[in-house]
Structure 1
Amino acid sequence: MGSYLTTERMTLRRFTEGDLDDLASLHRHPEVMRYIDDGRPVARAEVERQLERLLGEYTALPAGQGAFAASALSSGAFLGWFALRPATTPGLTGGTELGYRLLPAAWGRGYATEGARALVGYAFAELGVDRVVATTMTVNTGSRRVLEKAGLTHVRTFFEDWPDPIPGAEHGDVEYALTREAWASQFA
């Protein structure tokens, strides 16, 4: 299947049913899931359901949106995924949401920033969105730094009433955003 987007070191493409093992490996990793949902690894059966939803997004969401598998250009190794979707995360008030998850082997090597910048540019230049947003836990300094390097700025800190709060939840979540106008003045 052809790529959705190619960066200097990665290719992003639509997921297929054949990606289940890689996706399950990513979502069962405790470090990856530390700041996400209930902070616990995800069982393979749930990842199977998640993959079905991801595949359905390609027809349900606006064209060009969804989650895309990221692979290293040099080796083809699965790195994780990046996504653009209508914002539905609790606490967000609209926009197109940027998301990503990478295997720890890809951390600290610039892949998250490279992919985030590419998707932000794609969202504005190709998809014509007006605003890109993202959230993370306040204590997730790594993801906050990636969002800043991608051009997003801190909008606010907010507190949600999570059913099963994870360590760090007492510090809240943060919203980052970038408008098309601000992106054009910085990057275009």
Structure 2
Amino acid sequence: MSQPILRTERIHLVPLSVEHLKHQIELDADPDVMRYVGGALTPEQAEQALREGLADAERGPGLGYWAGFVEGSFAGYWILRPPDSDGQDPMEGQGELGYRLLKRYWRQGLAKEGSRELLRYGFEDLGLTRIMAMAAAANEASRATMASVGLHHVRDFTADAGHFPPGTDLRGVEYALTRGQWNARN
């Protein structure tokens, strides 16, 4: 199953492709956008990140990354991907929600709007049983978005230092929602 084009009232979500590289570069070059995910990337690093995202999407039918456009202009991307499982196969019936927007689109409710559509798609169209999201503990805006779409705080954790620069705060949070909880709300 390939990723469909999704729409909300204001956002046109199209499956991410190599044609979106210039948008990936713009998004990943902004240190404010990348503050909680390891810092700004060079164009070469952004291209590698795009290729990794496209490969990641191949791990789960219908899951992946979407480029979001508002009134024809790129606003950011939204993710419903197979959750990391320590290098193992994707966790059956689960998805990981994410989003990253250009600064000029912050505080307009777009992260919430796109996330709600991906939750709907994940639970109703794909039949997922659980969708989770993770963020830096200090990223209050992302945490507020996760809570506003109905995800509940599940746990605190310490991220693997991996690609993060030395001195990065590695405290993270996980939020999640089950299909039963989604159905009860909707």
- TM-score between the two structures when normalised by the length of structure 1: 0.86
Q: Which runs of 4 or more aligned residues in structure 1 lie more than 4 Å from their structure 2 counterparts after TM superposition?
A: none
AA aligned to 1:62 is G
- TM-score between the two structures when normalised by the length of structure 2: 0.87
Distance across 1 between alignment mates of 2:10 and 2:17: 21
- For 2:156, the equivalent position in structure 1 comes to 157
Secondary structure in structure 2 of the residue aligned to 1:147: helix
AA aligned to 1:147 is M
What is the alpha-carbon root mean square deviation over aligned residues?
Answer: 2.1
Partner of residue 69 from structure 1, selected from 67, 70, 84: 67
Distance across 2 between alignment mates of 1:160 and 1:149: 24
- For 1:84, the equivalent position in structure 2 comes to 80
1:86-165 superposed matches below 5 A: 86-88=82-84, 95-163=94-162, 164-165=165-166
- For 2:53, the equivalent position in structure 1 comes to 54
Deviation sequence 1:48-88 (CA, Å, 0-9, x none)? 22222333445x2322110010000xx20000100111111
- For 2:180, the equivalent position in structure 1 comes to 181
Deviation sequence 1:132-156 (CA, Å, 0-9, x none)? 0011011100000000111100011
AA aligned to 1:64 is G
Distance across 2 between alignment mates of 1:135 and 1:100: 10
Following TM superposition, by how much is the alpha carbon of 1:157 offset from its aligned partner in structure 2, in angstroms? 1.1
Distance across 1 between alignment mates of 2:143 and 2:123: 21
1:33-48 superposed matches below 5 A: 33-36=34-37, 38=38, 40-48=39-47
Secondary structure in structure 2 of the residue aligned to 1:31: coil
Unaligned ranges ≥5, structure 1: none
Following TM superposition, by how much is the alpha carbon of 1:166 offset from its aligned partner in structure 2, in angstroms? 4.8
Deviation sequence 1:106-146 (CA, Å, 0-9, x none)? 10000000011110111000000110001101110000000
Distance across 2 between alignment mates of 1:139 and 1:89: 24
Q: Would the alpha carbon gap of residues 175 and 77 (structure 1) be closer, same or farther in structure 2, given more than 3 Å must change? A: same
Alpha-carbon contact 1:3-1:11 (below 8 Å) kept? no
Following TM superposition, by how much is the alpha carbon of 1:96 offset from its aligned partner in structure 2, in angstroms? 1.0
Secondary structure in structure 1 of the residue aligned to 2:183: helix
Distance across 1 between alignment mates of 2:115 and 2:33: 17
Secondary structure in structure 2 of the residue aligned to 1:42: coil
Distance across 2 between alignment mates of 1:89 and 1:148: 23
Unaligned ranges ≥5, structure 2: none
Identity of aligned residues (%): 36
Q: Would the alpha carbon gap of residues 4 and 48 (structure 1) be closer, same or farther in structure 2, given more than 3 Å must change? A: same
Distance across 1 between alignment mates of 2:51 and 2:136: 27
AA aligned to 2:23 is D
- For 1:29, the equivalent position in structure 2 comes to 30
Alpha-carbon contact 2:56-2:81 (below 8 Å) kept? no
